Amino acid sequence: MMYETKSPTGSAGPERHTQMNGTNYNDQNDIDQFREALAQHGIVPPADLAADGQRRIADGRFIVLYHGEGMMVGYHGPLPDGPLRPWCSKPKGLRTDADAEFIGQCEAKARSEADEVVQEATQLHGEGEHEHTSPLLSYEGAALRYAAQGCPVFPLKPGGKAPLTPHGFKDATTDHAVIRDWWAQWPDANIGIVTGRASGLVVIDVDVKDGRSGMASLDQLEARYGPFDTFKVRTPSGGLHLCFNLPPGCPDLGSGNGVMPGIDVRADGGYIVARPSVVDGVAYCWENTTPPAPLPEGLMGLFAPSASANTPAPDVRVEDLRVPEEIKQLIREGKPTGERSEALFGAVRAMILCGHDGDEIIGVLMDPANGLSEKPREQGRAWLEGEIRRARTKPGDPKRADSSSPKTGRANPLASIISAAELATREFPEQRWIVPGIIPEGLSLLAGKSKCGKSWLALQTAVDVANVGGDVLYLALEDTQHRLQDRLSQVCGDGTPPERLYLASQSNWYRLDSGGLKDIRQWLQEHSEARLIIVDTLAKVKPQGQRNGNSYGEDYAALEGLKQLADEFRVAILVVHHTRKMPDSDDPFNEISGTTGLMGCADTAMVLKRPRGSNQANLFVTGRDVEEQKMPMTWDPDLCRWEEAHAPLSAEHQAIIDLLRERGPLTMKEIVDAASPISPGTTKSRLSRMVANGHIVNREGKYFIVEK
């Protein structure tokens, strides 16, 4: 950690404060107390070294006596009550002989306390053979120390995080000869340590830079899993690295960004910057000397499976890309640090729109020869794969895509055309089901008459999804908090409400075009494990229509923003709506109030039809990814829950049962092949529904009949 004070020339500079409640000590009494404390350690600083009266102490860990000319001198201790040790940054140039003499005293004192320093150095990986070193250890010495502890290292840009070697973290080694050669070539290079199986370390990176809410997310994790008593590193921006050991038998884990707001994870395919590296003029510092604890089982879900971390990126030349020349130039030259993220995202979008697949994009953006590869090589392949997924799901944005028509400046639709053969080979993530066979990710519409029980069904769905895993936001905009509390207690019965269900009640939400949509986006950004959002009802958030507006267009536009959010974040958004007063005996979906623009925008539509005074109802379901179906439902007034009524299997579902009876347990592919020419999507939807209803079960990839 570092604190900037007045420069040696007397000009005022900005002050930087850490998360550790730094306290200023400016009067002469404080200065005298410092000098007495230092004298006890046998060190007397020159009189002019602290003449500006700017000293800092933070929780007893760090005292800065002097800062200037790229040098910082003081004392630090590993614990609030621990012993102070002399310390200084690596000087880029000494101002006076007095400075040099004082630094020499600090170094001599530190080396006399070598045993304490070695004890500190063993904390990463326990006991072992270590050279006697000091807090003044060079970058090369620190890299050799990490390597001796079994951590593969590699050099990073001085003052930065980008690798200096051609293949980045894949070049990492514990070979001392190679390490000495690297730091002989780049003596001021920062140090990167590979995470994951290679080093046995996995890291949770808590980010607070630019207002990111990493500490709030860490509080949520510790509230759920208990305090993390493990090795911690304070990063230059004030964030934290929480370092854990891979426990025995733990599966390989991958790296990922934004797994929670302000939380990244580093395992296979990633690396961290290690002490004593400096970024933006500030050093990485150990927060404690506690050995890394085994990774708690509850945290393993934050890490992606390590599938592609070691897959080599293909060799792709910029000249061969099918993108405009300005994009090629951007990829070759890159952008300064403050502009890299937006430029990179624009280049990824442009390559996608021009038909390049993920491997090609990874190949060109992980190539050290290209300037735009700096950030992907810093963050790792897993991070870049996440950016590619995000770019694929983001609605068209010509300002970002940089694939605009030179004449009009608008997005060029020709750039998005791909061949059928290429589309057939493109890989997409599996469909995520929120309620199997009924509600997939995307935008869903649930309509029904007033007081028919649709809000009870929506609340029941919210509770069930939150109970099985995933954050849920229920906007009960027609209910008071008192009524919502009463209903929640009835739906949950004797159980406690799920911790992952979040609620907003009557009149507490803006219309979508007046900030409501923006607030939903913010909630999604703050809840990376969100699965479902319920808006009850559409009338409370729908933008006000224009007097002479197009009704179809207005209805479609009312839901379009929600659909874009659902697609971008891969969640389900369920909108509750009303039906008309006049029934339609031919098509229940014609009863949805408004124009067909609502049906046109939604991915899935449901209509709940229940005669007045009856506990029996039918739920009609149709959509792009679901099988059209009519589900008999029964309302249980004692439990305040809807249950699917026992009904005979449909002919389609019975055909699957007959197939399994005839041929025994089958895989999904075998069932899909046998069901041809029925589309694979329809067959998969039927299987999901039958599993949800308990007719069949999936064991180790094969479907079995459940005998009743």
Sheet holding 190-194, edge to edge: 153-156, 190-194, 271-274
- 64 or 229: whose pLDDT is higher? 229
> Which of 600, 627, 644 is at the close of a domain?
644
What's the predicted TM-score (pTM) here? Answer: 0.43
- CA 118/CA 352 separation, integer angstroms: 51
Question: Which residue type sits at 277?
Answer: S
- CA 702/CA 574 separation, integer angstroms: 31
- 412 or 322: whose pLDDT is higher? 322
- Consecutive H or E run containing 693: none
- CA 114/CA 122 separation, integer angstroms: 12
Q: Per DSSP, what are the bridge partners of residue 75?
A: 63, 86
Q: Per DSSP, what are the bridge partners of residue 621?
A: 606, 629
pLDDT for 122 equals 39
Q: Tell me: pLDDT of 20 over 80.
A: no
Q: Per DSSP, what are the bridge partners of residue 474?
A: 503, 534
Residue 7 forms part of a structural domain: no
The residues, any chain, with a CB within 8 Å of residue 174's CB and separated by 6 or more, are 147, 148, 150, 151, 152, 153
Question: For the chain, what percent of residues have pLDDT higher than 90?
Answer: 23
Q: Tell me: pLDDT of 15 over 50.
A: no
pLDDT for 53 equals 32
| pLDDT level of residue 290 (50, 70, 90 thresholds) | confident
- CA 292/CA 64 separation, integer angstroms: 28
Q: Which residue reads 């229920």 in tokens?
A: 474
Task: Note whether 83 and 144 are same-domain residues.
Answer: no
- Domain assignment of residue 90, given as a range: 23-112
Average pLDDT over residues 503-525: 85
Tell me the per-residue pLDDT of 196-232, one tens digit each, with 9 for 90 and over.
Answer: 989 999 999 998 876 667 888 898 888 888 889 999 9
* Residue 212 · residue 268 · CB < 8 Å: no
| pLDDT level of residue 88 (50, 70, 90 thresholds) | low
| pLDDT level of residue 349 (50, 70, 90 thresholds) | confident
Task: Note whether 614 and 680 are same-domain residues.
Answer: no
Task: Note whether 529 and 568 are same-domain residues.
Answer: yes
pLDDT for 203 equals 94
3-state DSSP call for residue 582? coil
Residue 484 forms part of a structural domain: yes
Residue 239 forms part of a structural domain: yes
What b/e string do you get for 446-464 counting C-beta neighbours within 10 Å, with b at 16 or more? bbbbeebbbbbbbbbbbbb
Nearest to 600 by CA among 548, 547, 549, 563: 563
Task: Note whether 153 and 264 are same-domain residues.
Answer: yes
Task: Note whether 542 and 471 are same-domain residues.
Answer: yes
Q: Tell me: pLDDT of 302 over 90.
A: no
Q: CA distances (Å), 101 to each of 44, 62, 135, 506, in order?
A: 10, 21, 17, 71
Task: Note whether 395 and 262 are same-domain residues.
Answer: no
Q: Which residue reads 């409370």 in tokens?
A: 540
Q: CA distances (Å), 362 to each of 56, 184, 344, 381, in order?
A: 45, 31, 12, 7
Average pLDDT over residues 150-164: 90
Look up the CATH number of the domain holding residue 615.
Answer: 3.40.50.300
Residue 157 forms part of a structural domain: yes
Residue 2 forms part of a structural domain: no
- CA 433/CA 531 separation, integer angstroms: 9
Tell me the per-residue pLDDT of 233-272, one tens digit each, with 9 for 90 and over.
Answer: 999 888 999 999 998 888 878 887 767 778 888 888 889 9
Task: Note whether 178 and 301 are same-domain residues.
Answer: yes
Alpha helices in 226-357 (DSSP H): 325-333, 340-353
Instruction: Give the total number of structural domains in the chain.
Output: 5
* Residue 637 · residue 615 · CB < 8 Å: yes
Look up the CATH number of the domain holding residue 692.
Answer: 1.10.10.10
Structure tokens belonging to residue 198: 């290679």
Structure tokens belonging to residue 192: 């990167």
Task: Note whether 636 and 567 are same-domain residues.
Answer: yes
Task: Note whether 147 and 225 are same-domain residues.
Answer: yes
Backbone angles phi, psi at 81, to 5 degrees: -105, 10
Q: Tell me: pLDDT of 6 over 80.
A: no
CA of residue 142 relative to chain centroid, distance: 31
Residue 425 forms part of a structural domain: no
Which of 258-267, 279-288, 378-387, 510-519 has the lowest average pLDDT? 378-387
> Which of 261, 280, 305 is at the close of a domain?
305
pLDDT for 250 equals 82
Structure tokens belonging to residue 166: 């051609």
Tell me the per-residue pLDDT of 94-141, one tens digit each, with 9 for 90 and over.
Answer: 444 555 555 555 555 544 443 343 344 334 333 333 332 333 357 888
| pLDDT level of residue 414 (50, 70, 90 thresholds) | low
Task: Note whether 608 and 508 are same-domain residues.
Answer: yes
**Mean pLDDT score across all residues of the chain:** 75
Query: CA-CA-CA-CA torsion for 498, 502, 507, 511, nearest 10 degrees?
Result: -140
Q: Tell me: pLDDT of 182 over 90.
A: yes
Task: Note whether 332 and 412 are same-domain residues.
Answer: yes
Q: Tell me: pLDDT of 400 over 60.
A: no
pLDDT for 359 equals 81
- Let me know if 431 is exposed, middle or buried by CB neighbors in 10 A (0-12, 13-18, 19+): middle
Backbone angles phi, psi at 202, to 5 degrees: -125, 150
pLDDT for 207 equals 87
Residue 246 forms part of a structural domain: yes
> Which of 270, 305, 340 is at the close of a domain?
305
Residue 479 forms part of a structural domain: yes
| pLDDT level of residue 393 (50, 70, 90 thresholds) | low
Question: Which residue type sits at 347?
Answer: A
Q: Per DSSP, what are the bridge partners of residue 253?
A: 305
Task: Note whether 452 and 580 are same-domain residues.
Answer: yes
pLDDT for 69 equals 40
Give me the helix-helix angle, 551-569 and 516-526, nearest 10°.
10
- 456 or 217: whose pLDDT is higher? 456
Q: CA distances (Å), 456 to each of 275, 461, 574, in order?
A: 55, 9, 13
